[in-house]
Structure 1
Amino acid sequence: MTEKITTVICPICGQSVVWTPANRFRPFCSERCKMIDLGSWASENYNLPADEDQPLSEEIKPSEP
């Protein structure tokens, strides 16, 4: 029986990456791409959508007893 080799695309450069435990940078192809992605998160270039219907915790007023 032949093992299927799983490959993914590096989210930074688009290079094909073999998904194995030996690839310590997965899903990235290299440490460089991993650090570029980390820098983008740290610079707040990525963001997650917020649920606008929910008030921020600072805006919640304590309830009256």
Structure 2
Amino acid sequence: MESASTPSFRCPNCKKAVSRDSENFPFCCDRCRIIDLGRWATGDYRIAGDPALIPDEPEGYG
């Protein structure tokens, strides 16, 4: 049983309990870590705000 002072962490993808000492922390396994990376790569996750202006962007792009 965990003590009251030991925080419990959950994998952001599957919600399994994760130890802070885990190699894949904060994920429970390599699979969940790769799933999260894929979500960033496909644009599922975004940082709120206006899009950044790219100075050398060609006309009509975007």
TM-score between both structures, scaled by the size of structure 2? 0.68
Shift of 1:28: 0.1
Distance 2:35 2:28 in 1: 12
The count of aligned residue pairs is 52
- C-alpha contact (below 8 Å) 1:6/1:18 kept by paired residues: no
Distance 1:25 1:43 in 2: 21
Gaps in structure 2 of 5+ consecutive residues: 56-62
Q: Percent identity?
A: 35
Gap change, CA 1:7 and 1:39, over 3 Å in 2: same
Larger radius of gyration: 1
CA-atom RMSD in angstroms = 2.2
TM-score between both structures, scaled by the size of structure 1? 0.65
Gaps in structure 1 of 5+ consecutive residues: 59-65
